[in-house]
Amino acid sequence: MRFGEDKLNKTTKTKAMESVNLIESFSEFKDIKNIDRATLMSIIEDVFRSMLIKRFGTDKNYDIIVNPDKGDVEIYKNRRIVDDEFAEDSFDYDENKHISLSDARKIEPDFEIGEDVSEKVTLEDFGRRAVLSVRQNLVQKILELEKSEIYNKYKEKVGDVITAEVYQVWKKEIMLMDDEGNELLLPKTEQIPSDFFKKGDTVKAVVSKVDMKNGTPSIIVSRTSPVFLERLFETEVPEIFDGLITIKKIVREPGERAKVAVESYDDRIDPVGACVGMKGSRIHGIVRELKNENIDVINFTNNPTLLIQRALSPAKITTIKIDDETKRAEVFLKPDQISLAIGKGGFNIKLAGKLTGYEIDVFRDTDIDVETEDVDLEEFADEIEDTIIDQLKSIGCDTAKAVLELSEADLVRRTGLDEDTIKNVREVLSAEFED
pLDDT grade for 70, boundaries at 50, 70 and 90:
low
Coil, helix or strand at residue 3: helix
Which has more confidence, 372 or 236? 236
Percentages (nearest 5) of helix, strand, coil residues in the chain = 45, 25, 30
pLDDT tens digits, one per residue of 165-205: 999 999 999 999 999 889 999 999 999 999 999 999 999 99
Residue 375: predicted pLDDT: 79
Residue 107: predicted pLDDT: 82
Residue 69: predicted pLDDT: 64
Which has more confidence, 382 or 346? 346
Calpha distance 109→105 (Å, rounded) = 4
User: Longest C-alpha distance within the chain, in Å?
Assistant: 131
Coil, helix or strand at residue 381: coil
125-129, 176-180, 364-368, 378-382: segment of lowest average pLDDT: 364-368
Asked if pLDDT for residue 39 goes beyond 60, the answer is yes
Asked if pLDDT for residue 228 goes beyond 80, the answer is yes
Percent of the chain with pLDDT over 90: 40
One-letter amino acid identity for 190?
Answer: E
pLDDT tens digits, one per residue of 264-319: 988 889 999 999 998 889 999 999 999 999 999 999 999 999 999 999 988 888 88
Residues with Cβ within 8 Å of 170's Cβ and at least 6 positions away in sequence, in order, are none
Query: Which domains are present in the chain?
Result: 17-150 (3.30.1480), 157-222 (2.40.50.140), 377-434 (1.10.150)
Percent of the chain with pLDDT over 70: 88
Whether 194 and 188 have beta carbons less than 8 Å apart is answered as no
Say if strands 257-264 and 245-253 run parallel, antiparallel, or are unpaired: antiparallel
